[in-house]
Chains A and B, each alone.
Chain A
Amino acid sequence: MSSGACEVCPANPNATLTKLGVDYEKYDFVIGLAGNPNTGKSTVFNSLTGLRQHTGNWPGKTVARAEGAFEYSGKKYKIVDLPGTYSLLSTSHDEEIARDFILFGNPDVTVIVADATRIERNLNLVLQVLEITDRAVLCVNLMDEAKRNGISVDIRALSRDLGIPVVPASARRGEGIADLLRMIHRVAIGEYVCKPRRIKSLSPDIALAVDELTKKINKEYPKLRNARWVALRLLEGDQRMIDAIKNGEFADTAGLHKRESQPLKNRPLNVNSPGVDV
C-alpha cells in the first residue's frame, strides 16, 4: 500500500487527477460505485471528485444516487455513488436503484467498495455484481481497520479468484486511491480485460434453465451485455424485469452506449433526484 508521501509525489499517476466536482458536461466513461452499506463508498467518491458528500459511520446514509466527475490521464469520468446494499436480489427501494443503474445505466466500470474486515459477506454482493457486468474493480477499503484487527487479506488471491483487479485502500487516509484510479482507467480503456467469476455451483437443472433462457435472450437482444443476469431475474419472476422487457426498455438501452445522460425509467417517489444525501 502506498504511503502518504507517495500520494503527493509528482511521479505518482494520481498527479494527473483533476477533481471536477459536479462540473461536467461531456464525459468519456461512466463509473458506478457500489458496495455494502458503511464501507466508505462516499469517502472514495469524495476523494475522486473533490466533492464533500456527507460521510458518516452508519449504514444507509446515501439514499439516492449522487453524481460527480473527475479527469484522469486525459479522460473524463462521470462517477455515480449508489446506495449501499447487501445484495441485488431483493425488492427494496435502495437495492433497486443500485441494480437498475448497473443494469440499465450501462456503466463502463463498476467499482465495488468492500470492507476488508468483512470480506466474506461483502463478497456476496461482489459475486452478484459480477453476474451483471463484465467490467468491475474491487476496492478493498478499510485496510487500516483490518490491520488494527489483525486481519490480513490476500489481495492477489482475491483478484485471481474473482477475475477482476483488486485494489487495497484506506480511503479515509487517502491511501490506495492512486492505485484504484489506475485500475479504473485500465479497465475503462480496455487495457485490463476482466474475466469475471460467474456463479458456478448452481444445481444442474437450474444451470440448464438459465442457459436455455440466456440463449433466447441473446438471440432477441444481441447487444445486451448481461443476458445471463436477465435470465436469472426472469427465472425469479422479477416483475421489474418482466416489465422492462414488455415496455421495450431493453430495446432502448441494451448495448447502446449513449454518451448523453441516460435517463433511468423513474419509479414513483422520485428515486432519481440527483445528489440527495442525508
Chain B
Amino acid sequence: MNDILETARNLRIERGENFHDSLVESIYSEAAKIAKDAVSTPDSNIAFRLDKTVDRLVTSRWLGFPIMFLLLAVVFWITIVGANYPSEFLSTLLVDLGHPWLQGIFLSLGAPSWLTGVLIDGAYLAAAWVVSVMLPPMMVFFPLFTLLEDFGYLPRVAFNLDSIFRKAGAHGKQALTMSMGFGCNAAGVVATRIIDSPRERLIAIITNNFSLCNGRWPTQILIATIFIGAAAPPYLAGLVSAAAVVFIALLGVSLSLFVSWGLSKTVLKGEVSTFSLELPPYRPPRILQTLYTSLIDRTLFVLWRAVVFAVPAGAVIWLISNITISNLSLAEWFINTVDPVAVIFGLNGVIFLAYVIAIPANEIVIPTILMLTVLTIKAAGAGAGAGVLFEMDDAQTAALLKQGGWTLLTGMNLMIFSLLHNPCSTTIYTIYKETGSVKWTVVSTFLPIAMGLIVTFVLTTIWHLS
C-alpha cells in the first residue's frame, strides 16, 4: 500500500509537473480524431446561423438587458391579467360556497363552536384562501417560466449577468442559482452545489433569499395591484402593477449583487474563480409536455406545500384571535405592543405579527394580514368574525386595508419587506444542511431582516419629509 504511494510520488517527481496537461492533451487529440472519422458537418447551416443570430441579440451589450426586462415584464403582465378569472371562480367555489356548507355540516353534527372555529374558520379557510390565491398565478407563471427555460433562455440570462457578478466578487454561476431562487429559495440554495469554491458558494447561499420566491410573488402582485396599480389611470393599471413587481424583483437582484460585493470585500475575501458556461442550442419547447410537467411538478408541488403550512397556521390564527386576556386577544396584545415600533418603518403591528406567523411559508402572509386587520379595526360587515379568514376581491381588500390605516407608503413598504425579510423555515433549514454552520445560517436569516428594516426606515423618513 505504502509502496504504491511511494512509487506514485517518485514517478510524479520524476515526470515533473506536466503530467496533467499531457494527459488532457492526449484525450483531446484522440477525441478530435474519433469525431473527425464519425461526424460530418455541413459547411453552411441555416439552423445554426439562426441560433447564432438570436444569441447575438439576446446577449448583446445594448439589447441584452432590455430584452431580459421586457420578457420578465411580459411574463408578469400575463400572470397578473390571466390569473384574475380563475381566482374569482375558485374563491366563489371554495370560500363563498364551500365554507358555509362545511359550517352547516359541523353545525348539524352538533360540534362545539371552538372545534368549528379551529377546523373550519381557521384551518379550512386558510387552505382555501391559499388555493384560490396561489393556484391561478402559479398555473400561468410556471408554464411560462418553464417554456423560457426549455427554450434555453436561462443560460443566456446567466451569460448576461456573469460579468456583473464577477465584478461583485461572486461566481458567475450565481446568476443561475439566483434564477432558481425565483422559483423557490430552498431549491436555489441546493442549486449552489454547482459552484466549486466554498467562498463563492457561501455568498450565493446567503444572497439567494434576495430572489423573490413563489411564495412572495402573489403578495407582490396583489399589493402592487391594489396600491400602485390603483394610483395609475385604469387603462395603465395592469402595466404599472407589472412594472412595480419587476422593479422589486430587480431591486432584489441589485441587493444580491451589493451584498455579494460587500461580503467578498470583507468577511469572505478571495479570488474570483473562472468557469466556462456553455450556451445550449435553442430547442423548440415541447409545449404540451411542458404544461403537464410544470403543472404536476411545480404548481401542485408548491401548492401542496403551501396548503400543508396554511392548515396549522390557520388554526393558530384562529386561536390567537380568540384566546383573550382581559378582553384583548393574544393577537391584539402583540399588535398593540409592536405597533409604535412598526410605524417607524412605515409598517404596522399587523404586518409584523403576520410575518411571525408566516415563518413556515411566505404564502400565507396576505391572508394573515387581512384577518388580523379585520380583528384590529373590528370592521363591521367585512369577513366573518375574529380569526376567520375570508376572500374578497381586490377593491374590497383595498377598502379594508385603507380602513386599517394603510396608505400607498404602507403598500410600498410591505412590498420591500416582503423582499427583505428572513427566509422561510424550509430555506433556513436547507441553508443549515448545506453549510453545516450555525453562524452562516444565522447571518443568512437576520441579514435580510436588518436590511429590510433599514430600507423601509429610510423610505418612510424621506416620505414624511417630502
Q: Which residues of A are interface residues toward B (Cβ below 8 A)?
A: 37-38, 52, 54-60, 63-64, 86-87, 89, 91-94, 117, 119-121, 123-124, 126-128, 145, 148-155, 157-158, 161-162, 172, 197, 199-203, 205-206, 209, 212-213, 216-217, 220, 231-232, 234-237, 242, 245-246, 268-271, 276, 278
Contacts and interface: CB of A to CB of B under 8 A. Distances in A.
7 contacts: A121-B31, A197-B30, A209-B15, A216-B7, A220-B1, A232-B23, A278-B190
Given A145-B281, A200-B30, A236-B23, A216 B193 contact: no
Contacts of A152: 39-40
A120 B31 CA distance: 6
Interface stretch (B70-78, B150-158, B324-332): B150-158
Given A54-B298, A123-B30, 19 more contacts: A52-B296, A56-B146, A57-B280, A58-B149, A58-B152, A58-B176, A64-B190, A89-B23, A151-B39, A162-B34, A206-B22, A212-B7, A234-B4, A235-B15, A237-B12, A246-B1, A269-B435, A269-B436, A270-B433
Nearest to B297: A54
Nearest to B25: A201
B15 A205 contact: yes
Contact of A242 (B5, B36, B42, B152): B5
By Cβ-Cβ distance, the 9 closest A-B pairs, closest first, are A120-B35, A123-B31, A234-B8, A92-B196, A63-B193, A150-B42, A60-B194, A278-B191, A157-B38
Given A149-B48, A154-B38, A213-B4, A201 B30 contact: yes
A158 B41 CA distance: 15
B194 A63 contact: yes
A202 B38 contact: no
A89 B435 CA distance: 25
B23 A202 contact: yes
Given A148-B47, A172-B286, A202 B15 contact: no
A55 B436 CA distance: 28
A209 B11 contact: yes
B281 A117 contact: yes
Most buried by B among A57, A89, A124, A197: A57
A172 B23 CA distance: 35
A158 B29 contact: no
Contacts, number: 185
Nearest to B435: A269
B290 to A, nearest CB: 10
B31 A124 contact: yes
Nearest to B173: A60
Contacts of B302: none
A244 to B, nearest CB: 11
B191 A202 contact: no
A217 B4 contact: yes
Contacts of A212: 7, 11
Contact of A158 (B34, B191, B281): B34
Interface of B: 1, 3-5, 7-8, 11-12, 14-15, 19-20, 22-24, 26-32, 34-42, 45, 47-48, 146, 149-152, 154-155, 158, 173, 176, 180, 187-188, 190-191, 193-194, 196, 276-278, 280-281, 283, 286, 293, 296-298, 433-436
A197 B30 CA distance: 10
A67 B77 CA distance: 39
Contacts of B5: 234, 242, 245-246
A102 B92 CA distance: 55
A231 B5 CA distance: 10
B399 to A, nearest CB: 41
Contacts of B15: 205-206, 209, 235
A120 B152 contact: no
A165 to B, nearest CB: 14
Contacts of A117: 281
Contacts of A155: 38
Contacts of A38: 278, 280
B190 A63 contact: yes
A126 B30 CA distance: 11
Nearest to B285: A57
Contacts of B180: 278
Contacts of B193: 63-64, 93-94, 269, 271
B27 A119 contact: no
Given A94-B194, A124-B28, A56 B150 contact: yes
A276 B186 CA distance: 11
Contacts of B277: 59
Contact of B11 (A60, A213, A245): A213
A270 B297 CA distance: 24
A3 B369 CA distance: 56
